[in-house]
């Protein structure tokens, strides 16, 4: 289940946000304002690679599936479903930041995915005193997709929605939750890039008050 080739999943500029925003942020621009658009979820193996980076956020069955030595690998169909949800979540993040209403199709896509997360706890027949999570959806990658959509509902319909931000750096398309009052950028890389650009501009052009002085 591992891909030996390099993957942009190992090189994501921002992780550790809500699962929902982490999925959105698997598309990013590498190289700043004149950079290139990168889709870290380029092929099915990238999806499993990305899911493995977020195992702590998913339940035990998915952990077993993805961490095991062998198993069924992600398919193009799985990848398409994740990309569809990602597009809907990017729209939802954008309208949340703008304070506008999302398209009905966006809401429907997120809600349809959220239903895949339906689950419950059962008593574990093998370990007395323990419980084991079960899902309605038998395909565990789709159950995980459901968990991401459920995380999106909790984020965009919860108190943190007002703190969702689009990184204001030119050429950046990442979203984050403003986790503390001084956080302005997705990462310090964007903050530094903007500061350097401002500094360069200041030293290239005379300030308005200095013209003709
Ligand atoms: Zn940024």
User: pLDDT tens for residues 134-167?
Assistant: 889 988 899 999 999 999 999 999 999 999 999 9
**pLDDT attached to residue 1:** 46
Is residue 147 packed enough to be buried (19+ CB in 10 Å), middle (13-18) or exposed (0-12)?
buried
SS3 at position 121: strand
Specify the DSSP class assigned to residue 171.
T
CB atoms within 10 A of CB 38: 16
Residue 105: C-alpha distances to residues 16, 145, 153 (Å): 28, 18, 15
**pLDDT attached to residue 4:** 54
Give 68's strand partners: none
**pLDDT attached to residue 61:** 63
Cβ density class 162-199: b for 16+ within 10 Å, e for less: eebbbbebebbbbbbbeeeeeeebbbeebbebbeeeee
Separation of alpha carbons 163 and 180, rounded Å? 9
Residues in the chain, pLDDT under 70: 1-5, 59-61, 68-71, 205-213
**pLDDT attached to residue 165:** 97
Cα 185 to ligand 1 centre (Å): 5
Cα 189 to ligand 1 centre (Å): 7
**pLDDT attached to residue 26:** 97
The topology under which CATH files domain 14-204 is: Jann2411-like fold (1.10.3300)
**pLDDT attached to residue 33:** 81
Cα 58 to ligand 1 centre (Å): 27
Separation of alpha carbons 49 and 136, rounded Å? 24
pTM of the entire structure? 0.87
Cα 172 to ligand 1 centre (Å): 5
Cα 200 to ligand 1 centre (Å): 19
Separation of alpha carbons 135 and 118, rounded Å? 6
Q: How far apart are the first and last CA of the chain?
A: 67
Cα 147 to ligand 1 centre (Å): 26
């Amino acid at each position: 289940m591992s891909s030996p080739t390099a993957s942009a999943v190992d090189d994501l500029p921002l992780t550790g946000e809500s699962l929902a925003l982490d999925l959105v942020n698997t598309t990013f621009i590498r190289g700043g304002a004149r950079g290139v658009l990168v889709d870290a979820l380029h092929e099915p193996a990238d999806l499993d690679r990305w899911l493995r980076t977020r195992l702590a956020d998913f339940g035990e069955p998915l952990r077993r599936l993805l961490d095991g030595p062998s198993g069924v690998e992600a398919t193009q169909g799985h990848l398409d479903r994740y990309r569809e949800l990602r597009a809907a979540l990017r729209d939802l993040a954008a309208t949340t930041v703008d304070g506008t209403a999302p398209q009905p199709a966006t809401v429907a896509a997120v809600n349809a995915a959220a239903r895949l997360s339906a689950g419950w706890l059962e008593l574990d027949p093998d370990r007395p005193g323990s419980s084991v999570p079960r899902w309605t959806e038998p395909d565990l990658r789709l159950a995980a997709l459901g968990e991401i959509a459920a995380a999106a509902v909790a984020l965009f319909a919860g108190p943190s929605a007002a703190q969702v931000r689009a990184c204001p750096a030119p050429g950046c398309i990442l979203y984050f939750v403003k986790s503390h009052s001084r956080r302005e950028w997705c990462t310090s890389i964007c903050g530094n890039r903007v500061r350097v650009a401002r500094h360069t501009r200041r030293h290239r052009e005379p300030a308005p008050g200095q013209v003709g002085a």
